[in-house]
Amino acid sequence: MSNKLEILFVDAYKEGRLLNEIYLQYLGKHGENDDIKTALVSIHNAGLCNVIEAYTELKNNKESGVDFFLTRYVFEQSLPEMESEILPVMECVLNLVEEAGADLAAGYPLSSFARYCEQDERRPKEAVQIIEDCDNRYVGLLHIVLSSGSKFNSEYYLSKAIELASHQDIEIRKLAILSFRNLEYKGNNRRINNAFKCLQERLENESDDYLIAHLIRASFGLCKQSNFLISHEVAILIDEAVKKGGKACIHAISEIFSTEHKNLPNEMLDVIKKHLLSIDPKNKGTISLIDSGIAHLIESSEANKGIVFLETILLENSNEISMYDLSVTKSIISRNNKNLLDRLLTRWFLKSDWVLCDGISVIINEIHGNEPELSIDPNEIPRRDFRHLYFLARKTFGYLFYKPITITSIIVSILRIARDKKTKMALSDFLYDPVMMNYTGSAQDYLKKCVYRENKVNRRYIEIALDKIKRYLKGLHSVGELKELYPPQTHIDAYWRQYTQQMTRSIKDAEKKSVFANLFSKSVLLYGRKSIEYISDGNEMPKRMELPLQSHSVTMEQPRLTTIDDNGLNELIKHFRAERIINEANS
Consecutive H or E run containing 9: helix 4-14
Strands 530-535 and 543-548: antiparallel
Task: For residue 472, give the amino acid letter.
Answer: Y
Task: Check: CB of residue 55 under 8 Å from CB of residue 89.
Answer: no
Cβ count within 10 A of residue 516:
8
Q: Are 121 and 153 in contact (CB under 8 A)?
A: yes
> How many residues does this entry show for the chain?
587
Amino acid at 294: I
Residues 6+ apart with CB under 8 A from 185: 150, 154, 158, 191, 192, 195, 225
How far is the C-alpha of 18 from the C-alpha of 94, rounded, in Å?
20
Question: What is the C-alpha to C-alpha distance for residues 358 and 356, in angstroms, rounded to an integer?
Answer: 5
C-alpha distances in Å from residue 369, one per residue of 252, 361, 503: 39, 16, 24
User: One-letter amino acid identity for 280?
Assistant: D
DSSP assignment letter at 542: P
371 contact partners, CB below 8 Å, separation of at least 6: 403, 404, 405, 406
* The pLDDT of residue 587: 36
Closest by Cα among 177, 193, 290, 175 to 234? 193
pLDDT digit string (tens) for the chain, length 587 residues: 458 899 999 999 999 999 999 999 888 875 566 889 999 999 999 999 999 999 999 999 888 889 999 999 999 999 999 999 999 999 999 999 999 998 888 999 999 999 999 999 999 999 999 999 887 889 999 999 999 999 999 999 999 999 999 999 999 999 999 999 999 998 899 999 999 999 999 999 999 999 999 999 999 999 999 999 999 999 999 999 999 999 999 999 999 999 998 889 999 999 999 999 999 999 999 999 999 999 999 998 888 999 999 999 999 999 899 999 999 999 999 986 889 999 999 999 999 999 999 999 999 999 988 899 999 999 999 999 999 999 999 999 999 999 999 999 999 999 999 999 999 999 999 999 999 999 999 999 999 999 989 999 999 999 999 999 999 999 988 877 777 777 888 988 998 999 899 988 988 888 877 777 766 777 777 777 888 877 776 566 777 888 888 877 777 788 999 888 999 999 999 999 999 988 643 43
- Cα 376 to its chain centre, rounded Å, is 28
Contact residues for 26 (Cβ-Cβ < 8 A; gap 6+)? 33, 36, 70, 71, 73, 74
- Give the whole-angstrom CA distance, residue 61 versus residue 57: 12
pLDDT value of position 31: 54
For residues 308 and 297, give the distance between their C-alpha atoms in angstroms, rounded to a whole number: 10
- Which DSSP string do the residues of 46-100 spell out, in sequence order? TTS--HHHHHHT--SSGGGSS-HHHHHHHHHHHGGG----HHHHHHHHHHHHHHT
Taking the C-alpha atoms of residue 399 and residue 349, their distance in angstroms, rounded to an integer, is: 9
List Cβ neighbours of 466 (8 Å cut-off, separation of 6 or more): 444, 447, 448, 451
* The pLDDT of residue 277: 94
Identify the bridge partners of residue 530 per DSSP, sorted by sequence position: 548
Q: What angle do CA 436, 439, 441 make, to 5 degrees?
A: 105
Written as one letter, the residue type at 436 is M
Helix (H) or strand (E) holding 382: none
Among residues 168, 138, 143, which one has the least CA distance to residue 157? 143
Helices (H), 317-438: 327-334, 338-351, 354-365, 386-399, 404-417, 421-430, 437-438
The string of DSSP letters for 483-517 reads GGGS--HHHHHHHHHHHHHHHHHHHHHHHHH-TTT
By the 10 Å C-beta count (0-12 exposed, 13-18 middle, 19+ buried), 274 is classed as middle
Q: What are phi and psi of 532, to 5 degrees?
A: -125, 130
The predicted pLDDT at position 537 comes to 64
The structure's pTM equals 0.84
452 vs 294: CA distance, rounded Å: 40
Q: What is the pLDDT of residue 94?
A: 95
Q: What is the CA radius of gyration of the chain?
A: 33
pLDDT at site 44:
96
Q: With b meaning 16 or more CB within 10 Å and e meaning fewer, what string describes 181-198?
A: bbbbbeeeeebbbebbeb
d(CA 258, CA 454): 44
